[in-house]
C-alpha cells in the first residue's frame, strides 16, 4: 500500500476540504475509525478521526468540526503489508530524518528544522521525530527516522516564517 503526501491537497484518498462523513466512511475501508469530539470546532479542542490500521495510524483533523483540515500519518509498523508513505518519490519513513530534510532543501523548499520537529511552510508539511517507544537513534541521540508527518492547507505553518 502506498500513501502519497500531496500538500496542500491532502493524502491519497483523503483530500483536504472533504466532509467528515466522507472521510470517516473511506477510512473505515482501511481499518477501525475512532472519533473524538464529533462536530466540535473549538481551537483548543476540535474534532479528530483516527484511522487505526494494524500497521499504522492516520489522525484526521477537522478544526472546523465539519471538513478535513489536515491529515497526520504515523510511521508504519512491520506486518503483512508493505506500506510506504511518499512525498515526491521520497520514502518519508525509511529515509533518515536529517537526510530527508536535506533532500527537501535541495528541492528549493524552505525547511525549518527545530530538532525534534521540522516543517516546510508554504507547502505545509510538518514532521516529528518524537517517539513513545524504542526506535533506532541517530548520532544526535534522537530518533533516526521521522515518526509522523502532517499535511495541511497552504498556510498551515506559515506563522513560523515570522520568527525565522
Each residue of 54-107: pLDDT tens digit? 999 999 999 999 999 999 999 999 889 999 999 999 999 999 999 999 999 999
Range list of β-strands (E), the chain:
2-6, 10-11, 14-15, 32-42, 45-52, 57-62, 70-74, 84-87, 90-91, 112-113, 117-120, 125-128, 148-151
Total count of residues recorded for the chain:
164
Query: Of 28, 75, 69, whose CA–CA distance to 47 is shortest?
Result: 69
Give me the pLDDT at residue 113, please: 94
Distance (Å, whole) CA 103 – CA 116: 17
Give me the pLDDT at residue 123, please: 87
Tell me: pLDDT of 44 over 60.
yes
3-state DSSP assignment of residue 164: coil
Provide the CA 30 distance to its chain's centre, in angstroms. Answer: 17
| Contact (Cβ atoms closer than 8 angstroms) between residue 140 and residue 116 | no
In this prediction, residues 136-158 reach a mean pLDDT of: 93
Give me the pLDDT at residue 122, please: 81
Distance (Å, whole) CA 60 – CA 151: 10
Distance (Å, whole) CA 80 – CA 161: 41
Amino acid at each position: 500500500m502506498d500513501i502519497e503526501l500531496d500538500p496542500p491537497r491532502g493524502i491519497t484518498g483523503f483530500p483536504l476540504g472533504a466532509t467528515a462523513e466522507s472521510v470517516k466512511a473511506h477510512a473505515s475501508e482501511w481499518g477501525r475509525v475512532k472519533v473524538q469530539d464529533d462536530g466540535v470546532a473549538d481551537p483548543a479542542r476540535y474534532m479528530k478521526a483516527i484511522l487505526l490500521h494494524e500497521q499504522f495510524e492516520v489522525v484526521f483533523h477537522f478544526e472546523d468540526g465539519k471538513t478535513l483540515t489536515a491529515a497526520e500519518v504515523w510511521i508504519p509498523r512491520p506486518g503483512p503489508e508493505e506500506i510506504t508513505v511518499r512525498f515526491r518519490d521520497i520514502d518519508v519513513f525509511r529515509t533518515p530524518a536529517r537526510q530527508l530534510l536535506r533532500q527537501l532543501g535541495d528541492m528549493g523548499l524552505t525547511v525549518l528544522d527545530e530538532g525534534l520537529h521540522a516543517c516546510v511552510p508554504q507547502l505545509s508539511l510538518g514532521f516529528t521525530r518524537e517517539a513513545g517507544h524504542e526506535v533506532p537513534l541517530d548520532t544526535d541521540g534522537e530518533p533516526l527516522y521521522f515518526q509522523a508527518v502532517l499535511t495541511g492547507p497552504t498556510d498551515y505553518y506559515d506563522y513560523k516564517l515570522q520568527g525565522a
